[in-house]
Structure 1
Amino acid sequence: MDKQGQEKFLNWILERVQAGKEDEAREILTENFRKQDEGTFSQEDIQAFVPKMISLLQAEKLGEVQAVVKQFSGQFESK
């Protein structure tokens, strides 16, 4: 994911996290983006990301976010 895509994803997720949890979500995503940029982002990172983010999301946005993350992780596996 390029920098522009990362920024769009970050903003999209931040709109769906619980009030007051934005900084924590931003930190998790920034770390994942750093690993992507370094080429060290792994399937294990994706698996760790999901439960962390689920705990931060608004309940009514959970299904929407899970669908997007699943699509992304599928693209990641095929690389």
Structure 2
Amino acid sequence: MDKQGQERFLDFILQRVQKGKEDEAKEILTENFRKQNEGTFSQEDIQVFIPKMISLLKPEKLEEVQAVVKQFSGDWGNK
């Protein structure tokens, strides 16, 4: 994912996290983007990322975010 795509994904997620959880979500995403850019992002990172992000999301936004993350993960796995 390029820098512009990362920023769009970050904005998308931040609009869907619980009030007051934005900084934590941004920190998690920024760390994952750094690992992607370095080429060190792994399946294990995905397995840690998903439950953390689920705990930060607004419950009513979970299904929408899961669909987008699934698409993103599929794109990442094809690289």
TM-score range, shorter chain: over 0.9
Q: Could you tell me the percent identity over the aligned residues?
A: 80
Q: CA deviation at 1:78?
A: 2.1
Q: How does the TM-score come out when normalised to structure 2?
A: 0.95
Q: Tell me the matched-pair count.
A: 79
Residues 11-50 of structure 1: matches in 2 within 5 Å?
11-50=11-50
Q: How does the TM-score come out when normalised to structure 1?
A: 0.95
> What is the match of residue 59 of structure 1?
59
Q: Which runs of 4+ in 1 moved over 2 A?
A: none
5+ residue gaps in structure 2? none
Distance 1:19 1:32 in 2: 22
5+ residue gaps in structure 1? none
Q: CA deviation at 1:54?
A: 0.2
